[in-house]
Structures are given as C-alpha cells and as structure tokens.
Amino acid sequence: MIPIDDSPIVRDGKSLILAMDHGLEHGPVDFKDVQKKLDPSTVFETATHDAVTAMAVQKGIAEGYYPSYEDDVNLLMKLNGTSNLWMGEPDSAVNCSIDYAVDVGADAVGFTVYGGSNHEIEMVEEFRDAHEQAREHGLPVVMWSYPRGQGVKNDTKPSTISYASRLALELGADIAKVKYPGSKDAMAHAVTSAGDMKVVMSGGSKTSDYEFLSQVEAVIDAGASGLAVGRNVWQREDPTRILDALELVIYEGETADAALEATE
Ligand code: FBP
C-alpha cells in the first residue's frame, strides 16, 4: 500500500470506479436490456460525470475508445480477466502488461485474485509481478479480491469478505474491491481488517434505486472508501441520475433518502 489520496482516481479520500469489463466476464447478456450500451462509447460518456473517479475496462476497450476520452476520464486498466464460457476452478488470464497499460494512458491498474481457488498460488504470483511493475510507474493497484472456488463455501459471508480485504492489504494492493458482506457491521469489520488500505464495495446485479443507495450509505457509514460499480449504474435508463445521487452519498455523506429526494 502506498498513499494514493493525491491520485486522480481518488476524490476527497473516496473513489467511484465505473466498471465495464462485463462483456468479457459475463458476455453481451449483461447488455440485453440496454443494447445501446454495447457501444463502449456510451459508457465512457457516463464516466465523464464528476462523481466518477475512474473507468475500469479491459485492454481492447481501452485502446479502441479511451483516446477519445482521455481528457475527461481516468483510466483504470484491468490487467486480467476471463470469460464465462469455460468451466473449472476460478482463474483469470493476464491480458495486459503494465508497460502496455502505461502506453495506453492508465492512471491505475486492476487485478482479480480469487483467494481460495485451486489457482490461488499462480494468481498471487501474477499479482506480485503486476504490483511490483506498477510501483515502478507509481500506479495505484486495485485488487478485485473475490474469494471463490473449492476452498470457499460462501463467498459473501462476513469472515470471507474480511479475509478478502486483509488478503489485499497483505499482498500490497492500494484499494480492495470486495463484495457486500450483508450488513454494515460486517463491512466495518472488512474495513478494519484492511488497516489503512482503502476498501470499496463491488456493485452487484441491478437493484432498485433505494436498495442500491441504502447499501452504499451503509458501506460509507462502515468506513469504506466508495464503490466500484458496473451494472447498477450503466444498466439504468438514466445513469446520470443515479450518479448524481451517489455523488451525494459518497462524497457528501448524505443518506439514501436525502440523495433520492435531491435528485428527483
Ligand atoms: P458489477 O457492479 O456490475 O457487479 O461489476 C463489478 C464486477 O467486479 C465487474 O468488474 C466484473 O465484470 C463483475 O463484477 C464480475 O462479477 P462476478 O465475477 O461476480 O460475476
């Protein structure tokens, strides 16, 4: 962990990372109700909102679309990722090097580690290489810390999520992106387990405005540093409105109710 409060991906100590790597991780099915979002430019447009501190994408999307947005969007290059087309213990191919991420203009990099998978050892060794090369360029490293696989019975139970955030701290991440462990108290323990390292919540599948914002409110109250979210923003008809509300909850400490009322 290095101090990253001066990094462009952090605003007032918090982050709102807009993730759009779902076309690889889940496939075009995630866009079925929002077909126009299959055009990555539409989501880059969404990422120009002031609340968004970075957009997380894979290499192909970055090299094809980021040049048009580099003045308005901070790039978080996801270095590994894999499709949903195969079966087996969770694993993720390293698709992009740090040097290439720097060439494309990355402000930070992201890396998934599936603790508990039978592939944990090789994934952690790949993370080590990426982490140490990122340090040479002063790039913050965000770990998608998602315990799963044969070693993990329940991948969102509180002790698993606290282990996920601690694992990220121990391995050198600057931000851990973890799933919501079900309650504010459990999230607070995951944050405490990460020491001074920042912890952000992973968005999950789309829910109602109120349910989503209430969960974000709980996470911020628990001491988390924000959100790394995909579907709960860009699957909405009006992503700008939810980003306006998220801006109030994350950076201004407003309640979900107040944020909804203010953005009606
Ligand atoms: P969402 O907010 O849409 O859940 O996106 C967060 C994310 O980590 C994406 O970066 C990634 O594509 C997806 O979730 C992977 O989720 P999972 O591996 O749990 O299916």
Torsion angle of alpha carbons 26, 151, 142, 80, nearest 10°?
A: -50
The residue count of the chain comes to 264
Q: Is the pLDDT of residue 193 over 90?
A: yes
**pLDDT number for residue 147:** 98
For residue 1, give both structure tokens: 């962990």
Assess whether the C-beta atom of 202 lies below 6 angstroms from ligand 1: yes
Ligand 1 atom showing the smallest separation from residue 84 Cα: 20
Residue 192 burial (C-beta neighbours within 10 Å; 0-12, 13-18, 19+): middle
3.20.20.70, 3.40.50.300, 3.40.120.10, 3.30.360.10: CATH of 4-262: 3.20.20.70
Average pLDDT over the chain, rounded to an integer = 97
- Catalytic residue, chosen from 37, 177, 179, 198, is 177
Q: Is the pLDDT of residue 264 over 90?
A: no
- Of 89, 202, 229, best ligand 1 pocket probe by most atoms within 8 Å of the beta carbon: 202
Q: Indicate which residue's Cα is closest to atom 18 of ligand 1.
A: 25
Q: Indicate which residue's Cα is closest to atom 12 of ligand 1.
A: 22
Cα(182) to ligand 1 centroid in Å equals: 17
Tell me the domain boundaries of the chain: 4-262
d(CA 195, CA 170): 10
Helix (H, G, I), strand (E, B) or coil at 258: helix
Cα(146) to ligand 1 centroid in Å equals: 10
177 in catalytic set? yes
Ligand 1 atom showing the smallest separation from residue 203 Cα: 2
**pLDDT number for residue 151:** 85
Q: Which residue has 């931000």 as its token pair?
A: 175
Query: What integer is the mean pLDDT of 168-186?
Result: 98
**pLDDT number for residue 108:** 98
Q: Which residue has 């290095």 as its token pair?
A: 2
Assess whether the C-beta atom of 230 lies below 6 angstroms from ligand 1: yes
Q: Is the pLDDT of residue 11 over 90?
A: yes
**pLDDT number for residue 205:** 95
